[in-house]
Amino acid sequence: MSSFAIYEPKRCRIKEHRKLNGYTIYRKSIGPAIRLLVWTVGIAFAVASELGSVPPGGFQSPEADPRFAPEAGVKPLNNLVFELVNQESPGTEPHTFRNPRDGWIYIRVLPTGDNAPTSILLDDTTVALKKFGGHLEAMRYVSAGAHTVALNDQHEPAKRLEVRAIGELVYATYGDNPHIAETGVYTWEYLREHCLDHYNSIIGTTTRTEDGKSAQEAEIREWTAEGKRWFVREDVPYDVSTVDEAYDRWSNSLGMQHPLMSGIWADEFGVGEKYGKQTAEMYPIWIGAIKKLRADPAFSNRIFYAYGPSRLLPAERFEQMYPFIQTIVECGYRLGPEWYLPESQSRPGRVIVETGDLLAEFSPAWEMASRESFERASKGAATERLVVVSLLSEPGWETGDLFPNYDFNVFLDCEMQFISTDSAFFGVRGLHGYVSGYCAEEQTRLFAKLVRHYAIEGNTHRFLADPYVLRHIQNADLANGTDGWTLSPAIDTLGQESIAVKTVPGFGTLQAKYHGPEGAGDVALWTRRCGDKPNVISQQIQNLTPGRLYSLRFITGDFQGLGNGASNRRQHAVSATIQNADRMMEKCFQAIVQCGYWQPYGEFNSSNPYWINYHQYVFRAHAINAELRLSDWPSDNPPGADIGQELIWNFIQVQPYFE
């Protein structure tokens, strides 16, 4: 996950660097002037006036790629979905369509009655249809060029038949649960119920049984029987010195050897130094191995995917990757640019008031320059990109949910809308959410629905109706001290304060805010537990919709342990109550989370972790307002222990919960 000059976030300049797990890691800081420069010096092209608006002239290839032109029988619904057939009362005669490239098609049949078709004929192959909602559907990977599709005459006539070219829609990683166990267990049954109807590809684990088979054999057989594809992730080898060694490493992977799998995702390519090796020295070896894979008839039906940078700029820095990019394109393989955007916030010169203000944050000119950087490396590379979107939604390892006054679910929705509508992403190969081990159950379900909304249904409007700027809690990040909060201290005598707002350096860093601005998350409420009565803060939650689910989330940490460089794994004796609401106990938890692995601070690191408590309280609102009360006692009864314990609290967030 951590990168070595593979990611160049839009609003940054290099500030400092350090070593981590063999990589050189760069920390970036926000630079509004640089953003303004990017916004104004981009190449000339039509910029959307609003987030999600259809580009002037409609969706079309910036390179005038004839495969996606109307003359080729293709009607773009957005950047990701291309209508090939839309036939009312299709009858039983064959309908011809032309797939613009080797890739996935989506077939949808709208039946007229209960005697619905159970299959269709795709060329000479019978394809089973699966019921979803009020229609029947199937996905199949087919070659570029002409094909036919027909309904059989054994059922009632269908109302409509639709065929669309869609992308590779990747779930990753089956077998990996979120690192905060309380936020979900992603069993096959759970994913089947909530997620997998919206995907056509899965990345699984490389775990093998004693006889050398995949530990996920049953799931692989079930999935591929539906015509869908299965992959595994493999490391990019640095401990090789010849083409044959690299080839042997990749060719012996489960993804290349298993008869039902379709290839591998190699993690990850970039520029710079790693494990004491310079990438410039390694690329000839990797390129030779990739060419050897393509030339081997045993792997003619396998695809090699390369995780890597989201842009190849500045050009002089990334020129060493050009032959590699050219090899990927020439071999018919795929690029997986890691498009990991940190959550956006207001700052001087750019204030976010409305959700549409995120358009400037996403920077169309920046993204078009990124697209052109791939085309500069190799003609056609821009449409061999399969965009990897960050789903980092949990604190502790790495999280993109940076600020409590913004809705990360809406941010994900807007990212997907931008990918689907901005010209820089026209014709990309598909979508991949990264990754289950960092993603909570709520966002796992949400992202699957976003994939269907944008990448199957071809929509351009937003999926969620909620605003990006949250308006339920005032001063949720405590940046304005105690404004908006009512404090009831346990001790209120001179020199014996027991509750205050403090700046706690390192507290935000240890929460692992991915590319968060310096100091984000360092302001916190401090409490010292007393035996006579609790410290309490309260506030009126506002702008709720009665009957709707919401989540309260907050983080607590050990103030003394952070200062001493030694932290104990323990549950904090605190409580949260919300009046005028029903608590959904099955969705509530208080998790003990290890911090310091990816983002160390001071004496805390992977071998000396700092422990936080991550609290989630899901409730159904009864009224427009509800009283929130946070206490450093676990109940109204005296705590009995830990008198004098000093806790720090922040990221106090209330937002709509995705059901």
Look up the CATH number of the domain holding residue 92: 2.60.120.380
Contact criterion met (CB below 8 Å) for 287 and 241: no
Asked if residue 32 has pLDDT above 90, the reply is no
Average pLDDT on 268-286 reads: 96
Same domain? 86 vs 185: no
Same domain? 518 vs 612: yes
602 domain-assigned: yes
pLDDT of residue 113: 80
pLDDT of residue 453: 98
70 domain-assigned: no
Same domain? 216 vs 292: yes
Burial code of 156-166, b = ≥16 C-beta within 10 A, e = fewer? Answer: eebebbbbbbb
Closest among 58, 51, 1 to 512, alpha carbons compared: 1
Same domain? 587 vs 523: yes
pLDDT of residue 130: 95
Give the mean pLDDT of the chain: 91
Residue 272's CATH number: 3.20.20.80
pLDDT digits 0-9 by tens, 155-164 = 788 999 999 9
User: Please, what sign has the CA dihedral across residues 254, 255, 257, 260?
Assistant: positive
Asked if residue 17 has pLDDT above 70, the reply is no
290 domain-assigned: yes
Average pLDDT on 208-231 reads: 95
pLDDT digits 0-9 by tens, 100-156 = 999 999 999 999 887 788 899 999 999 999 999 999 999 999 999 999 999 987 778
pLDDT digits 0-9 by tens, 594-622 = 999 889 999 999 999 999 999 999 999 99
Asked if residue 332 has pLDDT above 80, the reply is yes
Q: Which residue segment(s) compose the domain that 134 sits in? A: 81-166
* Length reported for the chain: 659
Angle at 398 between CA 397 and CA 400, to 5 degrees: 150
Contact criterion met (CB below 8 Å) for 137 and 170: no
Straight-line distance from the first to the last Cα atom of the chain, in angstroms, rounded to the nearest whole number = 29
Same domain? 261 vs 175: yes
Asked if residue 314 has pLDDT above 90, the reply is yes
Last-in-domain residue among 149, 166, 183: 166
Global pTM reads 0.93
pLDDT digits 0-9 by tens, 446-491 = 999 999 999 999 999 999 999 999 999 999 999 999 999 999 999 7
Same domain? 420 vs 340: yes
Q: Is 397 helix (H, G, I), strand (E, B) or coil?
A: coil
Asked if residue 8 has pLDDT above 90, the reply is no
Where residue 563 falls among pLDDT bands split at 50, 70, 90?
very high
472 domain-assigned: no
> In whole angstroms, what is the distance from residue 105 CA to residue 655 CA?
37
Residue 547's CATH number: 2.60.120
**CB neighbourhood size of 289 (10 A):** 25
Last-in-domain residue among 166, 197, 213: 166
pLDDT digits 0-9 by tens, 170-210 = 999 999 999 999 988 999 999 999 999 999 999 999 999 88
Same domain? 210 vs 101: no
Give burial (CB, 10 Å; 0-12/13-18/19+) of 207: exposed
Select the more confidently predicted residue: 27 or 632: 632
Same domain? 497 vs 615: yes
pLDDT of residue 7: 39
Where residue 40 falls among pLDDT bands split at 50, 70, 90?
very low
Contact criterion met (CB below 8 Å) for 511 and 651: yes
Segment holding 526, helix H or strand E: strand 523-528
Residue 243 corresponds to which tokens in the numbers above?
């083409």
> In whole angstroms, what is the distance from residue 526 CA to residue 490 CA?
12
Helices (H), 298-363: 315-318, 322-330, 358-362
Average pLDDT on 14-32 reads: 33
Helices (H), 252-363: 254-257, 279-295, 315-318, 322-330, 358-362
Asked if residue 382 has pLDDT above 90, the reply is yes
Last-in-domain residue among 142, 166, 190: 166
553 domain-assigned: yes
Where residue 41 falls among pLDDT bands split at 50, 70, 90?
very low
What percentage of the chain has pLDDT greater than the value 90?
85
pLDDT of residue 598: 85
Same domain? 144 vs 261: no
> In whole angstroms, what is the distance from residue 43 CA to residue 59 CA?
18
Q: Is 352 helix (H, G, I), strand (E, B) or coil?
A: coil
479 domain-assigned: no
Same domain? 222 vs 290: yes
Residue 521 corresponds to which tokens in the numbers above?
């998350």
Residue 393 corresponds to which tokens in the numbers above?
């939604």
pLDDT of residue 642: 86
Same domain? 30 vs 118: no
29-43, 146-160, 256-270: segment of lowest average pLDDT = 29-43
Contact criterion met (CB below 8 Å) for 469 and 405: yes
Going through 167-235 in order, the beta strands assigned E by DSSP cover 168-172, 201-204, 229-235
**CB neighbourhood size of 278 (10 A):** 12
469 domain-assigned: no
Give burial (CB, 10 Å; 0-12/13-18/19+) of 153: exposed
283 domain-assigned: yes
pLDDT of residue 163: 98
Same domain? 174 vs 106: no
Report the domain count for the chain: 3
Closest among 309, 333, 95 to 108, alpha carbons compared: 95
pLDDT digits 0-9 by tens, 494-509 = 557 899 999 999 999 9
pLDDT of residue 47: 54
pLDDT digits 0-9 by tens, 336-380 = 999 999 899 998 888 999 999 999 999 999 999 999 999 999 999
